[in-house]
A and B are shown apart, each in its own frame.
Chain A
Amino acid sequence: MKNLLLLSITDFKLIFRDSSLRIFLAMPLLIIAMVLFGLPALIEEYPIVQHYASYILMGASLQTSTMFGFIYSMVLIHEKDIQVAKVYGVLPVSKMGFIASRQVIPFTLSALVTFLLLQVQSFYIFKIEDAILFSLLCGLFAPLLSLSVTLFSKNKMEGMTWFKLMNLLVSIPLVGFFIPCCAWAFAIIPTYWVFETLNSMALGEMILMPIIIGFGLSIGLLYLLIWRFSKSHFS
Protein backbone atom coordinates (compact mmCIF):
# COMPACT_ATOMS: atom_id res chain seq x y z
CA MET A 1 0.00 0.00 0.00
CA LYS A 2 2.82 2.33 0.98
CA ASN A 3 4.61 1.51 -2.27
CA LEU A 4 1.50 2.23 -4.32
CA LEU A 5 0.96 5.56 -2.59
CA LEU A 6 4.57 6.49 -3.24
CA LEU A 7 4.18 5.54 -6.91
CA SER A 8 1.05 7.65 -7.16
CA ILE A 9 2.84 10.74 -5.81
CA THR A 10 5.90 10.14 -8.00
CA ASP A 11 3.61 9.78 -11.00
CA PHE A 12 1.99 13.12 -10.23
CA LYS A 13 5.42 14.75 -10.14
CA LEU A 14 5.89 13.69 -13.78
CA ILE A 15 3.38 16.37 -14.69
CA PHE A 16 5.62 19.05 -13.23
CA ARG A 17 8.48 18.02 -15.50
CA ASP A 18 6.49 19.26 -18.46
CA SER A 19 5.67 22.96 -18.46
CA SER A 20 2.73 22.41 -20.84
CA LEU A 21 1.12 19.92 -18.48
CA ARG A 22 1.61 22.33 -15.58
CA ILE A 23 -0.37 24.96 -17.44
CA PHE A 24 -3.14 22.45 -18.09
CA LEU A 25 -3.39 22.01 -14.32
CA ALA A 26 -4.42 25.66 -14.10
CA MET A 27 -7.31 25.19 -16.55
CA PRO A 28 -9.83 24.10 -13.88
CA LEU A 29 -9.13 27.38 -12.09
CA LEU A 30 -10.16 29.16 -15.27
CA ILE A 31 -13.45 27.25 -15.20
CA ILE A 32 -13.98 28.37 -11.60
CA ALA A 33 -13.19 31.96 -12.56
CA MET A 34 -15.71 31.80 -15.40
CA VAL A 35 -18.44 30.51 -13.09
CA LEU A 36 -17.50 32.97 -10.37
CA PHE A 37 -17.19 36.12 -12.50
CA GLY A 38 -18.20 35.40 -16.12
CA LEU A 39 -21.56 33.75 -15.52
CA PRO A 40 -22.96 36.40 -13.11
CA ALA A 41 -21.90 39.11 -15.56
CA LEU A 42 -23.62 37.27 -18.40
CA ILE A 43 -26.80 36.87 -16.33
CA GLU A 44 -26.77 40.55 -15.49
CA GLU A 45 -26.63 41.39 -19.19
CA TYR A 46 -28.98 38.60 -20.31
CA PRO A 47 -31.31 37.60 -17.42
CA ILE A 48 -32.67 34.66 -19.43
CA VAL A 49 -29.37 32.85 -18.88
CA GLN A 50 -30.39 32.53 -15.19
CA HIS A 51 -32.76 29.69 -16.22
CA TYR A 52 -29.81 27.75 -17.56
CA ALA A 53 -27.45 28.36 -14.63
CA SER A 54 -27.85 24.84 -13.26
CA TYR A 55 -27.04 23.31 -16.66
CA ILE A 56 -23.99 25.53 -17.02
CA LEU A 57 -22.91 24.45 -13.54
CA MET A 58 -23.39 20.80 -14.52
CA GLY A 59 -21.18 21.25 -17.58
CA ALA A 60 -18.56 23.19 -15.62
CA SER A 61 -18.41 20.57 -12.84
CA LEU A 62 -17.76 17.81 -15.31
CA GLN A 63 -15.24 19.80 -17.36
CA THR A 64 -12.84 19.96 -14.40
CA SER A 65 -12.72 16.15 -14.33
CA THR A 66 -12.52 16.06 -18.11
CA MET A 67 -9.46 18.31 -18.00
CA PHE A 68 -7.61 16.08 -15.53
CA GLY A 69 -8.72 13.03 -17.51
CA PHE A 70 -7.21 14.60 -20.63
CA ILE A 71 -3.88 15.37 -18.92
CA TYR A 72 -3.51 11.86 -17.53
CA SER A 73 -4.56 10.19 -20.77
CA MET A 74 -1.80 12.10 -22.57
CA VAL A 75 0.74 11.03 -19.91
CA LEU A 76 -0.35 7.39 -20.28
CA ILE A 77 -0.36 7.48 -24.10
CA HIS A 78 3.08 9.08 -24.04
CA GLU A 79 4.47 6.30 -21.89
CA LYS A 80 3.00 3.80 -24.35
CA ASP A 81 4.67 5.75 -27.19
CA ILE A 82 8.10 5.63 -25.58
CA GLN A 83 7.69 2.03 -24.37
CA VAL A 84 8.01 2.94 -20.68
CA ALA A 85 4.72 1.13 -20.01
CA LYS A 86 6.48 -2.18 -20.66
CA VAL A 87 9.04 -1.34 -17.98
CA TYR A 88 6.25 -0.57 -15.50
CA GLY A 89 4.85 -4.00 -16.29
CA VAL A 90 7.78 -5.74 -14.59
CA LEU A 91 7.50 -3.78 -11.32
CA PRO A 92 6.91 -5.99 -8.27
CA VAL A 93 3.42 -4.58 -7.60
CA SER A 94 -0.07 -5.75 -8.56
CA LYS A 95 -0.95 -4.32 -11.98
CA MET A 96 -4.52 -3.42 -11.03
CA GLY A 97 -3.33 -1.83 -7.77
CA PHE A 98 -0.68 0.09 -9.68
CA ILE A 99 -3.20 1.44 -12.18
CA ALA A 100 -5.70 2.32 -9.46
CA SER A 101 -3.03 4.09 -7.40
CA ARG A 102 -2.02 6.21 -10.39
CA GLN A 103 -5.60 7.40 -10.69
CA VAL A 104 -5.86 8.53 -7.07
CA ILE A 105 -4.40 11.98 -7.70
CA PRO A 106 -6.48 12.93 -10.77
CA PHE A 107 -9.55 11.68 -8.91
CA THR A 108 -8.70 13.65 -5.77
CA LEU A 109 -7.84 16.84 -7.65
CA SER A 110 -10.99 16.66 -9.77
CA ALA A 111 -13.16 16.07 -6.72
CA LEU A 112 -11.49 18.93 -4.83
CA VAL A 113 -11.88 21.39 -7.71
CA THR A 114 -15.52 20.38 -8.20
CA PHE A 115 -16.16 20.87 -4.49
CA LEU A 116 -14.49 24.27 -4.64
CA LEU A 117 -16.61 25.18 -7.65
CA LEU A 118 -19.80 24.30 -5.79
CA GLN A 119 -18.70 26.36 -2.82
CA VAL A 120 -17.76 29.51 -4.72
CA GLN A 121 -20.72 29.64 -7.14
CA SER A 122 -23.40 32.09 -6.11
CA PHE A 123 -26.54 30.57 -7.63
CA TYR A 124 -27.45 27.81 -5.19
CA ILE A 125 -26.85 26.87 -1.58
CA PHE A 126 -26.01 23.19 -1.36
CA LYS A 127 -25.83 20.97 1.72
CA ILE A 128 -22.19 20.25 2.48
CA GLU A 129 -22.68 16.46 2.54
CA ASP A 130 -24.46 16.57 -0.84
CA ALA A 131 -21.67 18.71 -2.28
CA ILE A 132 -19.03 16.25 -1.03
CA LEU A 133 -20.84 13.22 -2.48
CA PHE A 134 -21.43 15.00 -5.78
CA SER A 135 -17.77 16.07 -6.01
CA LEU A 136 -16.58 12.51 -5.36
CA LEU A 137 -18.89 11.23 -8.08
CA CYS A 138 -17.67 13.88 -10.52
CA GLY A 139 -14.06 13.11 -9.59
CA LEU A 140 -14.47 9.54 -10.82
CA PHE A 141 -14.74 10.80 -14.38
CA ALA A 142 -11.08 11.85 -14.50
CA PRO A 143 -9.87 8.22 -14.19
CA LEU A 144 -12.75 6.96 -16.31
CA LEU A 145 -11.82 9.27 -19.16
CA SER A 146 -8.07 8.88 -18.92
CA LEU A 147 -8.24 5.07 -18.85
CA SER A 148 -10.81 4.74 -21.61
CA VAL A 149 -9.02 7.16 -23.96
CA THR A 150 -5.65 5.46 -23.34
CA LEU A 151 -7.12 2.01 -23.75
CA PHE A 152 -8.51 2.75 -27.20
CA SER A 153 -5.60 4.84 -28.55
CA LYS A 154 -2.34 3.81 -30.13
CA ASN A 155 -0.96 7.33 -30.38
CA LYS A 156 -1.77 10.92 -29.41
CA MET A 157 -3.68 11.66 -32.59
CA GLU A 158 -5.96 8.71 -31.93
CA GLY A 159 -6.10 9.80 -28.30
CA MET A 160 -7.35 13.22 -29.35
CA THR A 161 -9.92 11.62 -31.65
CA TRP A 162 -11.21 9.31 -28.94
CA PHE A 163 -11.22 12.17 -26.46
CA LYS A 164 -13.50 14.15 -28.77
CA LEU A 165 -15.96 11.27 -28.83
CA MET A 166 -15.74 10.60 -25.08
CA ASN A 167 -16.21 14.26 -24.25
CA LEU A 168 -19.37 14.28 -26.34
CA LEU A 169 -20.65 11.08 -24.74
CA VAL A 170 -20.19 12.37 -21.19
CA SER A 171 -21.90 15.68 -22.03
CA ILE A 172 -24.81 14.30 -24.07
CA PRO A 173 -27.13 13.48 -21.11
CA LEU A 174 -27.49 17.26 -20.61
CA VAL A 175 -29.77 17.19 -23.66
CA GLY A 176 -32.20 15.12 -21.60
CA PHE A 177 -33.17 18.22 -19.61
CA PHE A 178 -34.48 19.86 -22.78
CA ILE A 179 -36.44 16.82 -23.97
CA PRO A 180 -37.92 15.33 -20.78
CA CYS A 181 -39.82 12.66 -22.74
CA CYS A 182 -36.59 10.95 -23.84
CA ALA A 183 -34.36 11.81 -20.86
CA TRP A 184 -34.31 8.21 -19.60
CA ALA A 185 -32.69 7.11 -22.85
CA PHE A 186 -29.47 8.62 -21.50
CA ALA A 187 -29.64 6.78 -18.16
CA ILE A 188 -27.14 4.18 -19.33
CA ILE A 189 -24.44 6.88 -19.43
CA PRO A 190 -23.02 7.43 -15.92
CA THR A 191 -22.95 11.22 -16.32
CA TYR A 192 -26.75 11.21 -16.61
CA TRP A 193 -26.76 10.42 -12.89
CA VAL A 194 -24.19 13.11 -12.20
CA PHE A 195 -26.44 15.69 -13.84
CA GLU A 196 -29.51 14.25 -12.13
CA THR A 197 -27.75 14.53 -8.77
CA LEU A 198 -26.90 18.18 -9.31
CA ASN A 199 -30.39 18.87 -10.60
CA SER A 200 -31.88 17.34 -7.43
CA MET A 201 -29.47 19.41 -5.33
CA ALA A 202 -30.49 22.58 -7.15
CA LEU A 203 -34.16 21.78 -6.60
CA GLY A 204 -33.52 20.98 -2.92
CA GLU A 205 -34.57 17.34 -3.38
CA MET A 206 -33.09 14.11 -2.00
CA ILE A 207 -30.10 12.89 -3.99
CA LEU A 208 -30.04 9.32 -2.67
CA MET A 209 -31.23 7.51 -5.78
CA PRO A 210 -29.17 9.33 -8.46
CA ILE A 211 -26.03 9.31 -6.32
CA ILE A 212 -26.25 5.57 -5.56
CA ILE A 213 -26.90 4.65 -9.19
CA GLY A 214 -24.20 7.10 -10.31
CA PHE A 215 -21.60 5.59 -7.99
CA GLY A 216 -22.66 2.05 -8.87
CA LEU A 217 -22.37 2.60 -12.61
CA SER A 218 -19.16 4.63 -12.44
CA ILE A 219 -17.32 2.31 -10.05
CA GLY A 220 -18.43 -0.74 -12.03
CA LEU A 221 -17.20 0.82 -15.25
CA LEU A 222 -13.96 1.95 -13.60
CA TYR A 223 -13.29 -1.59 -12.33
CA LEU A 224 -13.85 -2.98 -15.83
CA LEU A 225 -11.54 -0.38 -17.35
CA ILE A 226 -8.77 -1.00 -14.80
CA TRP A 227 -9.04 -4.75 -15.40
CA ARG A 228 -8.94 -4.32 -19.19
CA PHE A 229 -6.15 -1.76 -18.92
CA SER A 230 -4.02 -4.12 -16.80
CA LYS A 231 -4.23 -6.70 -19.61
CA SER A 232 -3.20 -4.42 -22.44
CA HIS A 233 -1.19 -1.41 -21.27
CA PHE A 234 1.98 -3.19 -20.12
CA SER A 235 2.43 -5.55 -23.04
Chain B
Amino acid sequence: MKSFITQIRWQFVILYKNNLIAISIAVTAIYALIFYLIKDLPNVEPFLTLLIYIDPAIIGLFFIGLSVIMEHNENVLPALFVTPVSYHHYLLSKIIALSIVGWACASGMTLAILGFDVQWLHFSAGVFFTCIIFSLLGLFVVSFTTEFLSFMLRSIPLMLTFSLPLFNYFGLSDISLFQFSPIQGPLDLTVFSFDTQTEIWPIIWAYLSSIIWIPLLYFVVYRTFVKRIIKAS
Protein backbone atom coordinates (compact mmCIF):
# COMPACT_ATOMS: atom_id res chain seq x y z
CA MET B 1 0.00 0.00 0.00
CA LYS B 2 2.85 2.34 0.92
CA SER B 3 4.53 1.73 -2.43
CA PHE B 4 1.23 2.37 -4.22
CA ILE B 5 0.78 5.73 -2.47
CA THR B 6 4.38 6.62 -3.32
CA GLN B 7 3.64 5.80 -6.97
CA ILE B 8 0.58 8.06 -6.94
CA ARG B 9 2.64 10.85 -5.40
CA TRP B 10 5.27 10.45 -8.13
CA GLN B 11 2.59 10.57 -10.79
CA PHE B 12 1.47 13.92 -9.39
CA VAL B 13 5.07 15.12 -9.51
CA ILE B 14 5.26 14.14 -13.20
CA LEU B 15 1.97 15.85 -13.96
CA TYR B 16 3.11 18.94 -12.08
CA LYS B 17 6.45 19.04 -13.89
CA ASN B 18 4.68 18.83 -17.23
CA ASN B 19 2.48 21.78 -16.25
CA LEU B 20 -0.67 19.65 -16.50
CA ILE B 21 -1.84 20.65 -13.04
CA ALA B 22 -1.15 24.38 -13.46
CA ILE B 23 -2.77 24.48 -16.90
CA SER B 24 -5.73 22.40 -15.74
CA ILE B 25 -6.32 24.95 -12.99
CA ALA B 26 -6.14 27.76 -15.58
CA VAL B 27 -8.51 25.92 -17.96
CA THR B 28 -10.94 25.22 -15.10
CA ALA B 29 -10.82 28.86 -14.00
CA ILE B 30 -11.63 29.99 -17.57
CA TYR B 31 -14.49 27.49 -17.86
CA ALA B 32 -15.75 28.54 -14.43
CA LEU B 33 -15.75 32.17 -15.57
CA ILE B 34 -17.63 31.25 -18.76
CA PHE B 35 -20.18 29.26 -16.78
CA TYR B 36 -20.59 32.06 -14.29
CA LEU B 37 -21.28 34.48 -17.14
CA ILE B 38 -23.79 32.23 -18.90
CA LYS B 39 -25.49 30.73 -15.86
CA ASP B 40 -28.71 32.71 -16.42
CA LEU B 41 -29.12 31.49 -19.99
CA PRO B 42 -31.75 28.76 -20.53
CA ASN B 43 -30.67 25.11 -20.91
CA VAL B 44 -27.05 25.45 -19.79
CA GLU B 45 -27.10 22.09 -18.00
CA PRO B 46 -26.58 20.00 -21.16
CA PHE B 47 -23.65 22.25 -22.07
CA LEU B 48 -22.21 21.73 -18.58
CA THR B 49 -22.71 17.97 -18.86
CA LEU B 50 -20.96 17.95 -22.22
CA LEU B 51 -17.92 19.82 -20.89
CA ILE B 52 -17.83 17.78 -17.69
CA TYR B 53 -17.77 14.70 -19.87
CA ILE B 54 -15.22 15.94 -22.41
CA ASP B 55 -12.65 17.42 -20.04
CA PRO B 56 -12.03 14.31 -17.91
CA ALA B 57 -12.24 12.20 -21.06
CA ILE B 58 -9.45 14.21 -22.71
CA ILE B 59 -7.38 14.26 -19.55
CA GLY B 60 -7.75 10.50 -19.12
CA LEU B 61 -7.30 9.41 -22.71
CA PHE B 62 -4.60 11.68 -24.07
CA PHE B 63 -2.48 12.43 -21.04
CA ILE B 64 -2.12 8.85 -19.87
CA GLY B 65 -1.09 7.87 -23.39
CA LEU B 66 1.37 10.73 -23.65
CA SER B 67 2.96 9.97 -20.31
CA VAL B 68 3.50 6.32 -21.30
CA ILE B 69 4.88 7.39 -24.70
CA MET B 70 7.36 9.73 -23.05
CA GLU B 71 8.46 7.11 -20.55
CA HIS B 72 8.77 4.55 -23.34
CA ASN B 73 10.79 6.87 -25.60
CA GLU B 74 13.10 7.88 -22.78
CA ASN B 75 13.63 4.21 -21.82
CA VAL B 76 12.14 4.75 -18.37
CA LEU B 77 9.97 1.64 -18.59
CA PRO B 78 12.71 -1.02 -18.82
CA ALA B 79 14.50 0.68 -15.90
CA LEU B 80 11.29 0.96 -13.90
CA PHE B 81 10.24 -2.64 -14.35
CA VAL B 82 13.48 -4.15 -13.13
CA THR B 83 12.59 -2.59 -9.78
CA PRO B 84 10.02 -4.37 -7.58
CA VAL B 85 7.28 -1.96 -8.71
CA SER B 86 4.08 -3.85 -9.37
CA TYR B 87 2.60 -3.44 -12.85
CA HIS B 88 -0.79 -2.90 -11.24
CA HIS B 89 0.59 -0.11 -9.07
CA TYR B 90 2.16 1.53 -12.09
CA LEU B 91 -1.06 1.49 -14.13
CA LEU B 92 -3.45 2.25 -11.28
CA SER B 93 -1.36 5.13 -9.95
CA LYS B 94 -1.45 6.80 -13.37
CA ILE B 95 -5.19 6.24 -13.70
CA ILE B 96 -5.97 7.51 -10.19
CA ALA B 97 -3.72 10.58 -10.41
CA LEU B 98 -5.32 11.66 -13.69
CA SER B 99 -8.81 10.90 -12.41
CA ILE B 100 -8.23 13.14 -9.41
CA VAL B 101 -7.11 15.95 -11.74
CA GLY B 102 -10.16 15.35 -13.97
CA TRP B 103 -12.51 15.32 -10.96
CA ALA B 104 -11.02 18.55 -9.57
CA CYS B 105 -11.46 20.30 -12.95
CA ALA B 106 -15.05 19.08 -13.34
CA SER B 107 -15.88 20.09 -9.76
CA GLY B 108 -14.54 23.61 -10.35
CA MET B 109 -16.75 24.01 -13.42
CA THR B 110 -19.81 22.66 -11.65
CA LEU B 111 -19.32 24.83 -8.56
CA ALA B 112 -19.23 27.92 -10.79
CA ILE B 113 -22.61 27.24 -12.35
CA LEU B 114 -24.58 25.20 -9.81
CA GLY B 115 -22.81 26.01 -6.56
CA PHE B 116 -23.12 23.20 -4.02
CA ASP B 117 -26.56 22.24 -5.29
CA VAL B 118 -25.31 18.93 -6.74
CA GLN B 119 -25.44 15.35 -5.55
CA TRP B 120 -21.72 15.05 -5.00
CA LEU B 121 -21.59 11.29 -4.60
CA HIS B 122 -23.15 10.63 -8.01
CA PHE B 123 -21.22 13.51 -9.55
CA SER B 124 -17.86 12.32 -8.24
CA ALA B 125 -18.57 8.73 -9.22
CA GLY B 126 -19.68 9.81 -12.71
CA VAL B 127 -16.62 11.95 -13.35
CA PHE B 128 -14.20 9.44 -11.79
CA PHE B 129 -15.61 6.54 -13.76
CA THR B 130 -15.50 8.60 -16.99
CA CYS B 131 -11.87 9.44 -16.37
CA ILE B 132 -11.00 5.84 -15.46
CA ILE B 133 -12.65 4.42 -18.59
CA PHE B 134 -10.90 6.89 -20.89
CA SER B 135 -7.57 6.34 -19.12
CA LEU B 136 -7.98 2.61 -19.75
CA LEU B 137 -8.77 3.38 -23.36
CA GLY B 138 -5.61 5.50 -23.57
CA LEU B 139 -3.54 2.64 -22.14
CA PHE B 140 -5.10 0.25 -24.61
CA VAL B 141 -4.27 2.49 -27.59
CA VAL B 142 -0.75 3.17 -26.40
CA SER B 143 -0.17 -0.58 -26.19
CA PHE B 144 -0.36 -0.67 -29.97
CA THR B 145 1.61 2.45 -30.81
CA THR B 146 4.16 4.49 -28.94
CA GLU B 147 4.41 7.07 -31.70
CA PHE B 148 2.75 10.30 -30.59
CA LEU B 149 0.76 11.28 -33.67
CA SER B 150 -0.20 7.74 -34.46
CA PHE B 151 -1.52 7.46 -30.89
CA MET B 152 -3.55 10.64 -31.39
CA LEU B 153 -4.96 9.40 -34.68
CA ARG B 154 -6.11 6.11 -33.19
CA SER B 155 -7.44 7.74 -30.03
CA ILE B 156 -9.77 10.24 -31.69
CA PRO B 157 -12.03 7.71 -33.48
CA LEU B 158 -12.10 5.53 -30.37
CA MET B 159 -13.06 8.48 -28.21
CA LEU B 160 -15.87 9.33 -30.61
CA THR B 161 -17.08 5.74 -30.67
CA PHE B 162 -17.13 5.52 -26.88
CA SER B 163 -18.99 8.83 -26.76
CA LEU B 164 -21.91 7.67 -28.91
CA PRO B 165 -24.30 7.57 -25.88
CA LEU B 166 -24.11 11.37 -25.93
CA PHE B 167 -26.34 11.27 -29.02
CA ASN B 168 -29.08 9.70 -26.92
CA TYR B 169 -28.51 12.20 -24.14
CA PHE B 170 -28.93 15.16 -26.51
CA GLY B 171 -31.99 13.58 -28.09
CA LEU B 172 -30.33 13.15 -31.47
CA SER B 173 -30.92 9.40 -31.36
CA ASP B 174 -32.78 6.82 -29.33
CA ILE B 175 -30.69 3.69 -29.59
CA SER B 176 -31.29 1.39 -26.64
CA LEU B 177 -28.09 -0.57 -27.35
CA PHE B 178 -26.09 2.41 -26.05
CA GLN B 179 -27.47 1.61 -22.58
CA PHE B 180 -24.98 -1.24 -22.47
CA SER B 181 -21.94 0.79 -23.50
CA PRO B 182 -19.19 1.33 -20.89
CA ILE B 183 -19.66 5.08 -20.76
CA GLN B 184 -23.46 5.07 -20.29
CA GLY B 185 -23.26 4.42 -16.53
CA PRO B 186 -20.80 7.26 -15.76
CA LEU B 187 -22.69 9.61 -18.09
CA ASP B 188 -25.99 8.82 -16.36
CA LEU B 189 -24.43 9.35 -12.93
CA THR B 190 -23.20 12.79 -14.00
CA VAL B 191 -26.65 13.68 -15.35
CA PHE B 192 -28.42 12.31 -12.24
CA SER B 193 -26.18 14.39 -9.99
CA PHE B 194 -27.90 17.54 -11.27
CA ASP B 195 -31.39 16.16 -10.71
CA THR B 196 -32.83 15.33 -7.28
CA GLN B 197 -35.94 13.67 -8.74
CA THR B 198 -34.26 10.63 -10.29
CA GLU B 199 -35.66 7.25 -9.30
CA ILE B 200 -33.44 4.79 -7.47
CA TRP B 201 -33.31 2.02 -10.10
CA PRO B 202 -31.64 4.00 -12.89
CA ILE B 203 -29.04 5.11 -10.34
CA ILE B 204 -28.40 1.53 -9.23
CA TRP B 205 -28.17 0.43 -12.87
CA ALA B 206 -25.66 3.22 -13.60
CA TYR B 207 -23.44 2.18 -10.69
CA LEU B 208 -23.80 -1.49 -11.54
CA SER B 209 -22.93 -0.92 -15.18
CA SER B 210 -19.78 1.03 -14.21
CA ILE B 211 -18.78 -1.53 -11.59
CA ILE B 212 -19.05 -4.32 -14.15
CA TRP B 213 -17.39 -2.52 -17.06
CA ILE B 214 -14.38 -0.98 -15.30
CA PRO B 215 -12.80 -4.22 -13.93
CA LEU B 216 -13.55 -5.92 -17.24
CA LEU B 217 -11.83 -3.19 -19.24
CA TYR B 218 -8.96 -3.09 -16.75
CA PHE B 219 -8.42 -6.83 -17.15
CA VAL B 220 -8.23 -6.55 -20.96
CA VAL B 221 -6.05 -3.42 -20.85
CA TYR B 222 -3.70 -4.87 -18.22
CA ARG B 223 -3.09 -8.02 -20.26
CA THR B 224 -2.58 -6.06 -23.48
CA PHE B 225 -0.29 -3.51 -21.85
CA VAL B 226 1.87 -6.13 -20.12
CA LYS B 227 2.17 -8.20 -23.27
CA ARG B 228 2.82 -5.40 -25.76
CA ILE B 229 4.64 -2.76 -23.71
CA ILE B 230 6.18 -4.22 -20.59
CA LYS B 231 7.32 -7.58 -21.94
CA ALA B 232 8.45 -5.98 -25.18
CA SER B 233 10.54 -3.24 -23.51
- Shortest Cβ distance from B74 into A: residue: A155
State whether the Cβ of A175 lies closer than 8 Å to any Cβ in chain B: yes
| Contact code string B18-49 (vs A, CB < 8 Å = 1, else 0) | 11100110110011001001100100000000
State whether the Cβ of B214 lies closer than 8 Å to any Cβ in chain A: no
From 66 to 84 in chain A, residues with beta carbon under 8 angstroms from any chain B beta carbon are: 74
| Interchain CA distance A179-B63 in the complex, whole Å | 33
Among A164, A165, A169, A172, chain B packs the most CB atoms within 10 A around the CB of A164
Contact (Cβ within 8 A) A158 B19: yes
Contact (Cβ within 8 A) B30 A172: yes
Given the contacts A155-B70, A164-B58, A23 and B153 also touching, CB distance less than 8 Å:
yes
Q: How many residues of chain B have a CB within 8 Å of chain A?
A: 27
- Shortest Cβ distance from B145 into A: residue: A20
Contact (Cβ within 8 A) A20 B37: no
| Interchain CA distance A158-B58 in the complex, whole Å | 14
- Shortest Cβ distance from B151 into A: residue: A20
Contact (Cβ within 8 A) B149 A165: no
Contact (Cβ within 8 A) B34 A74: no
Residue of B18, B37, B147, B148 near A175 (CB, 8 A) is: B37
Contact (Cβ within 8 A) A172 B148: no
Residue of A19, A23, A155, A165 near B18 (CB, 8 A) is: A155
Q: What residues of B have a CB within 8 angstroms of the CB of A164 in the complex?
A: 23, 27, 58
Contact (Cβ within 8 A) B38 A175: yes
> Can you give 7 contacting A-B residue pairs, CB < 8 Å?
A20-B150, A156-B148, A160-B62, A164-B23, A165-B23, A169-B30, A179-B38
Chain B residues at the A interface, C-beta cutoff of 8 Å: 18-20, 23-24, 26-27, 30-31, 34, 37-38, 41, 58, 62-63, 66-67, 69-70, 147-150, 152-153, 172
